[in-house]
Structure 1
Amino acid sequence: MHFNKMIIAGLLVCCSLTAVACGKNRENTSVVTSEYNAANVKDYEEDGVKYREETGAKQTIIYPLMEHDCADMEQAAVCSINGKQSETDVRDKDTSYIIISSFKWPVLYNDDDVEKIVYKTYNARVRLGIEDDLSNEYQNKKKLKMDKADITAGEQEQLKMILCLELKSTNDSWYMNKQSPESERQAKNEVLNSVLVEAEISYKDGTSHTDYYKLETIENGNSVNIFKLSE
């Protein structure tokens, strides 16, 4: 009996040490699911940066979180969100499917003195990038981290906003066991209306500054307003 107690005590100590080691850079704060999103959502902090990890049956998406207060905002651009889309089929026993869609991001900086722009996205399953192959770059990956886009001023024309969704499958054979087009549109709108975009602009003279943008979908469902935030 005494020997068994020693084993149990040892296991408890090991578990405690493991928990402390894991908690050093990673702390879970919530687990939730949304109406359309098929993923479990878990927030954590690592090296002082807050992240959200959304894990579905097919894919895990990780993106950073940021709160940004602003006194006002002004419209910077309006752009169409009709672009490329790639999605998986729903097969037997599939509980979800993946949609990867992209649309052209507008050129926001026309100054000849701009050398490069680093775009980062927060609070949503979205990133900015110049990739064209949505299937191989996004749809077929098991784990994706929404990384920054480090581009030159001349690459702005190639920049796209890319949405990575994993939605619940249905029993509706009319839509091939997927969500209705209206539900898919609402899911995309939820993501677009949540994203915060950071743009760090570097100039040829060595100076730099940072701008922040929010998106707001327009009722017609085909366009989005882009607002520049002011302090």
Structure 2
Amino acid sequence: AYIIPPHLLQSKTDRYYVRALLTLHPGEVYVSPLDLNNEHGHIAVPRQPMLRIGIPLFTRQGYRRGILLLNYLGTNILSHLHGESSSFPNQWMLVNQEGFWLHHPNPKIEWGFMFPEGRTWTIGRTFPQAWSHIQSHREDAEGLETPDGYFFHSVIFPDQVVQHHHQESPPDQVVPTKAEPTQSWYLIKHVSRETLNAEFQPLLNALVLGSTAILVIVGYSLIFWARLSGQRQKAETARWSSETRF
């Protein structure tokens, strides 16, 4: 951390998180949506995903004095998903409550709600069946099978994450949290049919080879038993003919 020189300071009074913080009561904690950092009215380049956690400050007499705001760099969270996506053929994705991509294997369609041209960069547009299922099933360990592959998901509430952080504190230090209305993240694992076919093809080949071997063995067994039965039938016929003559 470092101190910003006075001539580089910016007014943040018009930012949504500042306005939200100014409405909080003593002891409340604010958790913002995860979005891109904005500097001097423009989205910072390179992109800086940011989560903001803040509290209001009051005097002992109860007068509002200001706010204390912590900017948490979202790349600390998303970098883990990037690593998982590059290590495994299945895709890890993160969307917000509106279905906009916060993390996607194709970074070009992330953060659509921050750009005028990105209003359609949503999971609802790409995977409508999966998104409908995810919205109606908060938790689903069994997953969903669709023509686009398999989907598994879990829901994350940022304010509950902050609250969980305080659970080990003494009771008088546990504070309520206040996040944006209906704010939630959905962590989604997508396994495409192409990936499934590629991963399970060796197993399928082994099964096919095994089945072929079994069929060959069964076939030879049938031939053997057919020949043996024929020989037995000939022997019985010869014995019957011999007994008939005598």
Note whether the superposition's TM-score is higher than 0.5.
Answer: no
Relative to the length of structure 1, the TM-score reads 0.22
Q: Of the two, which has the highest radius of gyration? A: 2
* Greater helix fraction, Structure 1 or Structure 2: 2
* Greater strand fraction, Structure 1 or Structure 2: 1
Of structures 1 and 2, the one with the larger relative CO (CA 8 A, separation 6+) is: 1
